[in-house]
């Protein structure tokens, strides 16, 4: 690869100043990750322009330009905005699937400008979450992300779903990859966009309930339950104050949940682990298990009366609520 002059590197840093993070927004909580395979290596820059824009990809409108100063970077410098516009001018975007609101009044879609080298700089890419008001056919950039293509980490905007009342659109800022380093539990965060005000809230990371009506996420050290239509239901601090936060699992009837904590982010024999149950609507934590041998790092709630637990070696165990018995699965 051609070596860069120190002048070119300084220029890139100046252009990216004020653009916010290149992968994850700073407000995104980074809860610990469960053991996973090693993260991906450096992402290869996509230098070939994508296929021309297909106007039929939008059901009602085709937003392909910045409609306003990107809301994700309210303090963006003129140089940063110029860099975004340079990326957009060099290629046609590719489009993620459209997300029409249930009431038909809104449509959300991610517009992706793949990696290019503006003015010979290192490869950068730009993405927008565009919200279209169907009656007017006008698109607004509700969120965006500018990133360096040869780095590691989690990146990329992606839609998830609308609330049934069409007020909120849920999406993530980490479509691909995982945060750099470490072996702790991690899930892509949920962000919530209010279609009427364009206000964005980072809800944290965690699973959606089986009935589709709620989310349970870690936000800081709190376990927070969200109603998809209405917002926050309640929150409760993690039971083990000094332990690392782990995965959350909903009950099959969506009326309770469990989570795992451990005294180390990385699984190993002898690490103390905790399995905690929280029932709705009171949100009072109940310690089900405290164990070092085995040490648990994963959980699933697939039966009303039993949990599936996974120890530091990946071996499966079953915990019975009625008998409080813990048994290995042969």
pLDDT tens per residue, range 202-253:
999 999 999 999 999 999 999 999 999 999 999 999 999 989 999 999 999 9
Is the domain of 182 the same as that of 263? no
pLDDT of residue 77: 78
Whether residue 320 is contained in a domain is answered as: yes
Share of the chain above pLDDT 90, in %: 68
Residues 237 and 4 sit within 8 Å (Cβ to Cβ): no
Residues pairing with 89 in the sheet: none
Last residue of a domain, one of 182, 205, 228: 205
Judge if 172 and 62 occupy the same domain. Answer: yes
pLDDT one-digit tens code per residue, 86-114: 999 999 999 999 999 999 999 999 999 99
Judge whether residue 322 has pLDDT over 70: yes
Is pLDDT of 22 > 60? no
Is 77 part of a structural domain of the chain? yes
**Distance between CA atoms of 77 and 236, rounded to whole angstroms?**
40
State which residues form the domain around 253. 239-330
The answer to whether residues 298 and 194 belong to one domain is: no
- Examine the domain organization and report whether 172 and 266 are in the same domain: no
- Tokens 């249930």 sit on residue: 102
Whether residue 250 is contained in a domain is answered as yes
Please check whether residues 69 and 182 belong to one and the same domain. Answer: yes
Mean pLDDT in the chain? 81
SS3 content of the chain, % helix, strand, coil (to 5): 10, 40, 50
10 has pLDDT over 80: no
Residue 283 — left, alpha, or beta (φ > 0 → left; ψ -120 to 50 → alpha)?
left
Angle, helix 6-16 to helix 78-89, in steps of 10 degrees: 100
Mark whether 193 and 251 lie in a shared domain. no
More confident residue, 17 or 315: 315
Last residue of a domain, one of 180, 205, 230: 205
Report the domain count for the chain: 2
Cα 292 to chain centroid, rounded: 31
Helix and strand tally (H, E) in the chain?
Answer: 2, 20
Residue 42 has pLDDT above 70, yes or no: no
Which pLDDT belongs to residue 162?
Answer: 98
Give a yes or no: residue 44 inside a domain: no
In the structure, what pLDDT confidence band is assigned to residue 76 with cuts at 50, 70 and 90?
A: low
Q: Cα torsion at 51, 57, 58, 62 (round to 10°)?
A: 20
Output the six-digit token pair for 281. Answer: 């609507």
Please check whether residues 66 and 133 belong to one and the same domain: yes
**Is residue 323 a part of any domain in this protein?**
yes
Q: What is the pLDDT of residue 268?
A: 87
- The share of the chain scoring above pLDDT 70, in percent, equals 77
201 & 268 share domain: no
Residues 192 and 317 in one domain: no
Higher-scoring residue by pLDDT: 281, 25? 281
DSSP structural state of residue 118: G
Is residue 166 scored above 60 in pLDDT? Answer: yes
Q: Are residues 185 and 57 in the same domain?
A: yes
- Whether 64 is in a domain gets the answer yes
Asked if residue 317 is part of any domain, the answer here is: yes
Please give the Cα distance from 115 to 138 (Å, whole number): 27
Confidence of residue 75 (pLDDT cuts 50, 70, 90): low
Give the helix ranges, DSSP H, for the chain: 6-16, 78-89
Asked if residue 147 belongs to a domain, the reply is yes
Q: Pick the range with the lowest mean pLDDT from 8-17, 150-159, 171-180, 297-306.
A: 8-17
Residue 275 sits in the same domain as residue 184? no
- Answer yes or no: do 247 and 197 share one domain: no
Choose between 33 and 190: higher pLDDT: 190
Q: How far is CA 9 from CA 83, 128, 130, 148, 163, in A?
A: 14, 25, 31, 12, 44
Nearest to 249 by CA among 204, 216, 219, 212: 216
Spatial separation of the C-alpha atoms in residues 320 and 188, rounded to whole Å: 30
Global pTM value: 0.77
139 compared with 49, residue with greater pLDDT: 139
């Amino acid at each position: 690869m051609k070596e860069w002059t120190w002048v070119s590197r300084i220029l890139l840093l100046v252009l990216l100043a004020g653009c916010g993070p290149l992968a994850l927004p700073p407000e995104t909580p980074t809860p610990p990750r469960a053991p996973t395979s090693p993260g991906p290596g450096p992402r290869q820059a996509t230098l070939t322009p994508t296929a021309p824009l297909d106007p039929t990809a939008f059901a009602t409108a085709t937003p392909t330009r910045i409609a306003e100063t990107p809301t994700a970077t309210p303090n963006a410098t003129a140089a940063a905005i110029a860099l975004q516009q340079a990326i957009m001018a060099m290629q046609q975007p590719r489009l993620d699937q459209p997300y029409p609101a249930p009431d038909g009044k809104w449509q959300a879609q991610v517009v992706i400008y793949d990696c290019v080298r503006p003015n010979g700089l290192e490869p950068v890419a730009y993405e927008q979450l565009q919200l279209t008001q169907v009656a007017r056919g006008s698109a607004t950039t509700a969120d965006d992300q500018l990133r360096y293509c040869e780095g590691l980490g989690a990146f990329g905007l992606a839609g998830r779903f609308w609330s049934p009342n069409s007020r909120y659109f849920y999406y993530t800022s980490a479509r691909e990859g995982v945060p750099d380093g470490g072996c702790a539990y991690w899930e892509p965060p949920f962000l919530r966009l209010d279609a009427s005000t364009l206000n964005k809230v980072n809800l944290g990371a965690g699973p959606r309930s089986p009935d589709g009506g709620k989310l349970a996420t870690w936000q800081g050290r709190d376990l927070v339950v969200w109603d998809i239509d209405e917002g926050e239901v309640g929150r409760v601090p993690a039971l083990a104050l000094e332990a690392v936060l782990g995965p959350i699992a909903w009950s099959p009837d969506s009326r309770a949940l469990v989570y795992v904590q451990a005294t180390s982010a990385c699984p190993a024999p002898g690490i103390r682990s905790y399995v905690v149950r929280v029932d709705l609507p009171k949100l009072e934590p109940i310690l089900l298990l405290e164990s070092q041998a085995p040490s648990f790092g994963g959980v699933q709630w697939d039966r009303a009366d039993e949990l599936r637990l996974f120890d530091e070696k990946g071996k499966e165990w079953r915990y019975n609520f009625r008998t409080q018995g813990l048994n290995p699965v042969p």
